[in-house]
Amino acid sequence: MSSALRRETDATDPGPPDPPLVGDLPVLRDATVRWPLPPARLVLVAHLLDTAVPYIRRLAEVCELVGVVPVPYSLRRQALTRLADLPVLVPSTLDDVGPLAVASAQQAGARRGPALAVQEVGGYCAPHLSTLAGVPQLCGVVEDTKQGQWLYELHVPLPLPVFTIADSPLKALEDLQVGRCVAFTVERVLRTRFYRVLSECRVLVLGYGGIGTSLAERLRESGSRVAVYDPCEIRMAAALLRGLRVGSRTDLLGWADVVIGVSGRCSLGVDDLPFLREGAVLLSGSSKQVEFDVDGLCEAADSIRQTQEVTQLTVESRTVHLVDRGRPVNFLEQSVLGSVLDLVYSELYLCTRELVRSPRPAGLHRLSPDLQRTLARNWREEYGKF
**Per-residue pLDDT reduced to its tens digit, 232-268:** 999 999 999 999 999 999 999 999 999 999 999 999 9
Q: Name residue 53's amino acid.
A: V
Q: Can you say how many angstroms the Cα of residue 135 is from the centroid of all Cα atoms in its chain? A: 27
Task: Give the residue extent of every domain in the chain.
Answer: 26-171+336-383, 175-333
The model's confidence at residue 275, banded by pLDDT at 50, 70 and 90, is very high
Mean pLDDT of the 340-345 span: 96
What is the side-by-side strand order in the sheet with 363-365? 64-70, 40-46, 115-120, 138-143, 161-164, 363-365
Which DSSP string corresponds to 255-308? H-SEEEE-SSS--B-GGGGGGSPTTEEEEE-SSTT-SB-HHHHHHH-SEEEEET
Mean pLDDT of the 137-147 span: 97
Q: What is the rounded distance in angstroms from the CA atom of residue 369 to the CA atom of residue 373?
A: 6
271 pLDDT more than 80:
yes
**Per-residue pLDDT reduced to its tens digit, 185-228:** 999 999 999 999 999 999 999 999 999 999 999 999 999 999 99
CA distances from 202 to 217, 244, 258, 280, 281 (A): 14, 12, 6, 10, 11
104 pLDDT more than 80:
yes
**Per-residue pLDDT reduced to its tens digit, 157-188:** 999 999 999 999 999 999 999 999 999 999 99
123 pLDDT more than 70:
yes
Mean pLDDT of the 350-360 span: 96
pLDDT of residue 14: 47
Q: Name residue 348's amino acid.
A: L
| pLDDT above 90 coverage of the chain, percent | 89
Mean pLDDT of the 288-295 span: 93
For the domain with range 26-171+336-383, which CATH number is right: 2.102.10.10, 3.30.420.60, 3.30.160.60, 3.40.50.1480?
A: 3.40.50.1480
DSSP state of 97: H
Mean pLDDT of the 119-143 span: 97
pLDDT of residue 172: 95
pLDDT of residue 3: 40
Q: What is the rounded distance in angstroms from the CA atom of residue 66 to the CA atom of residue 85?
A: 12
Q: What is the rounded distance in angstroms from the CA atom of residue 278 to the CA atom of residue 317?
A: 9
5 pLDDT more than 90:
no
The model's confidence at residue 316, banded by pLDDT at 50, 70 and 90, is confident
CATH number of 175-333: 3.40.50.720
Of 350, 34, 343, the closest CA to residue 170 belongs to 343
pLDDT of residue 336: 83
> Do the two domains 26-171+336-383 and 175-333 of this chain adopt the same fold?
yes
pLDDT of residue 17: 47
The model's confidence at residue 22, banded by pLDDT at 50, 70 and 90, is low
Mean pLDDT of the 83-99 span: 97
Q: What is the rounded distance in angstroms from the CA atom of residue 49 to the CA atom of residue 71?
A: 10
